[in-house]
Amino acid sequence: MNKHESISGLILAGGRGTRMGQVDKGLQPFRGKTMAAHVLERLAPQVASVAINANQNLDVYAGLKVPVWPDDLPGFAGPLAGMEAGMRRCATPYLLTAPCDSPFLPPDLAERLLAALEAAEADLAFAMTQEPGQRPQPHPVFCLVKANLLPVLSSYLAEGGRRMDGWYKDLKVVEVPFEDADAFRNINTLDELRGLDTGHAVRPAARLQDVTSCLSDYDPDALPVKQAQHIIREFVQPVGAVEQVALRAALGRVLARDIVSPINVPAHDNSAMDGYALRGADLPAEGQVQLKVIGTVYAGRPSDTVPGPGECVRIMTGGVMPEGCDSVVPQELLAEESEHQVVLRAGTIQLGDNRRFAGEDLAAGSAALRAGKIIRPADLGLVASLGIAELPVRRRLRVAFFSTGDELRSIGQPLDAGSVYDSNRYTIYGMLQRLGCDIIDMGIVRDDPAALEEALRSACENADAIVTSGGVSVGAADYTKQIMARLGDVTFWKIGMRPGRPLAFGRIHSNGHDAFLFGLPGNPVAVMVSFYFFAREALLRMMGADAPLSLLRARSEAPIRKKPGRTEYQRGILTHGADGMPQVRITGSQGSGILRSMSEANCMVVLHDGQGSVNAGDMVDVLMFEGLV
C-alpha cells in the first residue's frame, strides 16, 4: 500500500441521516469508534491528507483532527455538493471521495483507482464490483477525480443536477473492478449497524418449527420454563417502524437509535465545588503557602482572569477553570481566608482535586443513550442537557386481548349460577398499560368456533400481538386449538411450572396481516405468572427494548415445600430483617385461583426447576412487583 502525495481524501458525511432516524451516520458508534473514524483510519494511509465534508456536528467531526468542510450549496444538496466543496479546497491534482458509512473500504483503493485513471488517460475513475450471476455494480461515490474539473461539476449542480452518476457524461471515465463487494457496503440503518457491530446479521422471520428443531430434547408436553423462554426469544422479532417525537413525549417509549452526544458534557473544565482555583505548582510540599486572590469566577459567567505564580481565583461550583489552574481547594479547608488572600496548609488537597474535566460526563461523539432503552425521567434530563429536542422512538406496540369462556360475565352484568366476573381482562389491561402498549380490548369471546375465529382474525388484522386468557388447557374445547393452529404457526405447550402449566404460542395470519399470539391459561394467578415470565419479555422485544426481569436474593423466613423437576412461582411479601437484609415470606395458600394473595403480595418467590424444598434462612430468588414494566 502506497501513500500517494498527489491525492487528497474526502470523507462524505454531509447528509441529513434520514435513513438512520435523523441521526448523523458518520458519528454512529461502531466497533469501538465512530463510523467516520473507521473510514479515516483506512483512508489516511493512502493519501496526502484527509478532510471531512459535513453540514452538522462540525465541532464533533473536528475532534478527529482533520479539516471539516461544509457544502457551499444550501439545503443538504447531496454527495456531489460535498465533492464540489472538496474540489474547491483541494491542494493536490486529484481528489478521492469515500462515504462516511462504509467502514470497510479497501486499503488499496487510491492506488488502484490512480493506476487505472493514468493508464486510460481518464478524467475520473470509480470502483465497480460484480457478484456471481449478477450485473456489474458501479460505486461512483468511491471516486478519484481530477480537481481541475471543478467547473464541470459546478455547472452541473447550478443547473439543478444532483445524481452522483450524472455529472460526468461528457468526461472520460474508467470503472475499476474490485473483488470484495463487502468493502463497498453502505450501512444505512441502525438494525444493520447493530447486526454488523455484534457480528450477527439481521435475521429474517423464522418458522416456529425451525426454532424448536434446534432443541434435541424438545417436548411440548413437558417443556422447562427456560426452554420455552428461549424459543419465544428466538422466534419473536422487533417491530421496525420508528417515529420522531418531542422530548417530553418520549417518556416511557423505547429508543430506536443510539443518541450520540454532539457536545462535551460538561463543555469546559470546571469546579466541582465552591472554593479557590489555583495552580498545582503552588501547592506546598510542607508548611503552608499564602496566595493572593485576584478575582472571582461564577458559574455561567466567562472570565479572562489568569492567575500567575502565587495567585488564585475564588470560584463557584460549575465555574469554568481559569487558564493555568488545575486544582480547587474548598473554602472550608483553608487555614485562613480574607477578601484578598488565603492561606493553604500542605496536604490539604492533592494536584487535580475538585476539578471536573470537559467531556467527563459525556464526550462529544460518544453514545449518550443506547437503542433499546426505555426512556425514564433521568434520560429526558440527559438528552435535554445535550440540546436535543426530539428523539427517535419505536412505534407503540398494538396489542389486542380478550378472554374466552361462556361462564364469564363483564362488570355490570348479573351473575348466573356457575358464572363469574371476568377479572383477567382487567389484570392483562394493567400489565399491558405498564408496558406502554396501545391496547385493543376485545371483551369476552364465547365458546363458539365462529366467534373465536372472527375474534382472532380481527385481532390479527389490527394488532401486532394478541393475548388471550383461557381455552388452552387440556379440558378446553378442541376447536380452540384447531382454529389457532389453522390460522398460523402455533404450538401448545405443557410447561413444567406452577401455577400456569398450559400455554399457546406462535404467529397467526389473516388477510395479509400477521400477529404473535400468546394464549395464557384461564386461572387468574396463572395469567399473571405466565404474562410476566413469557409474554412480557416477548412484547418488550417486539418493542425493541432490552429489559430482562431483574431478580434479587432474599432470605426465606420459613420453610417452603417444593419438589425438584418444575419451576414454582409463589406469592411473597418482602421486608427487611433486624440486620437490614431482605427477607421474604409467602402469602399462605398458593392456589392459582386466589387472586387476593397476588394483590397482597409485593413480590414473587422464584423456585427453579432443579431446586428442592427451602429451609428457613435459605436464600431464594425474588421478583419485585414494584416498578415492573
What distance in Å separates the CA atoms of residue 28 and residue 36, rounded to the nearest whole number?
8
CA atoms of 230 and 208, how far apart (whole Å) = 12
- The pLDDT, as a whole number, for residue 209 is 78
The one-letter amino acid code at 621 reads: D
Written as nine digits, the cell of 550 is 431483574
53 marked as part of a ligand binding site: yes
Is 141 strand, coil or helix?
A: strand
Question: Residue 134: what pLDDT?
Answer: 61
Q: Exposed (0-12), middle (13-18) or buried (19+): which is 265, by Cβ within 10 Å?
A: middle
The DSSP secondary structure of 284-329, one letter per residue, reads -SSSEEEEEEEEEE-TT--------TTEEEEE-TTPBPPTT--EEE
pLDDT (tens digit, 9 = 90+) per residue, 309-342?
Answer: 999 999 999 999 999 999 999 999 999 999 999 9
Average pLDDT over residues 154-176: 90
- Answer whether 262's CB lies under 8 Å from 268's CB: no
pLDDT at 226: 93
Burial of 336 (0-12, 13-18, 19+ CB in 10 A): exposed
What span, in angstroms and rounded, lies between the C-alpha atoms of 309 and 364? 33
CB environment 454-469: b (16+ within 10 A), e (fewer): ebbbbbbeebbbbbbb
Pick from 375, 496, 417, 510: nearest CA to 456: 510
Tell me: is residue 71 an annotated ligand-binding position: yes
Residue 452 predicted with pLDDT over 60: yes
What CA–CA distance (Å, rounded) separates 179 from 162?
A: 28
Asked if residue 215 belongs to a known ligand binding site, the reply is: no
Say whether pLDDT at 231 is over 50: yes
DSSP secondary structure, 493-527, as one string: EEBSEES--EEEEEEEEETTEEEEEEEE-SSHHHH
Strands (E), 132-260: 137-146, 173-177, 242-246, 259-260
Look-up: residue for cell 489552574? 325
The pTM score is 0.63
Q: What percent of the chain has pLDDT over 70?
A: 92
pLDDT at residue 239 in the model: 85
Residue 489 labelled as part of a binding site = no
Does 14 count as an annotated binding residue? yes
552 - beta bridge partners?
622
User: What's the pLDDT score for residue 188?
Assistant: 55
Mean pLDDT of all residues in 187-193: 56
Tell me the per-residue pLDDT of 251-304, one tens digit each, with 9 for 90 and over: 999 999 899 999 988 989 999 999 999 999 999 999 999 999 999 999 999 889
Residue 198 has what pLDDT?
44
| Cα 328 from Cα 330, distance rounded (Å) | 6
**Interval 196-213: pLDDT, tens:** 444 433 344 567 877 787
